[in-house]
Copies of this chain bind each other. A is one copy, B any other.
Amino acid sequence: MKHSDRKRADILAAAVTEFRAYGYDNTSMDRIADAAGASKRTVYNHFGSKDQMFEAIVHELMDRSDVLSDFRYEPDQPLPKQLKSIGNQILNVFSDEGYRDLARVVLSRLIVVPQCSAIISEHSSRINTMLADWMRAAHRDQRLNVPRPELAAEQFVGMLMSFGFWPALFCVQKKGLDVKQSTFVNQTVTMFLKGYQPD
């Protein structure tokens, strides 16, 4: 890796760390430069302004959740097995500490930069659509009775997120609910499939 690229990466990483610790507005470009072990001028050579640097961070956040590929419906595999795998895939992305750091920085800036919501919208609806497709396939196969696949997808993802993403994002510790991710996913898949099981 070239020295220049290394610098760029260092700066971006330092920016996320500092933004995460102090918030966007309370982090000066001088501090980012310091933390990255770079000079302020270099920071400005790579990212024209503080805003552009933030934009770069938003892009990094988006790239992260692109690892979620299609949730393929397998006609010859048991539904619980398939849905558990999907659930764990989703939670693995969203419960990653690095992903949450990025998300915190971006979400806390949403008031000031509302354009971000369009981007987030895009991504969350991508996951939802993929999951709804899976539901529709299972419905067509008569192994599930899901009259509204989009609504059902929303429900499923909602349960996962409110277990493994939102509380951790806001550093809220859950009292009285101390279970592993896999336990929660299993339990949720079981309940969900029973709730949508054909008559």
Give the interface of A toward B (CB within 8 A): 19-26, 104-105, 107-112, 114, 117, 120-121, 124-125, 128-129, 132, 148, 150-152, 154-155, 157-163, 166-167, 170-177, 179, 184, 187-188, 190-197
Which of B24, B104, B158 makes the CB contact (< 8 A) with A158?
B158
Residues of chain B within 8 A of A163, CB atoms compared: 154-155, 158
Complex CA gap A137/B171 in Å reads 30
CA A24 – CA B150 in complex, angstroms?
36
Across the two chains, which residue of chain B brings its CB closest to A19?
B111
A-B contact pairs, 26 of them (CB 8 A): A22-B112, A25-B25, A26-B112, A105-B111, A107-B170, A108-B108, A108-B109, A110-B171, A121-B173, A121-B175, A125-B174, A125-B175, A129-B175, A132-B176, A150-B176, A154-B163, A154-B177, A155-B162, A155-B163, A158-B160, A158-B161, A158-B162, A158-B163, A159-B159, A159-B162, A194-B197
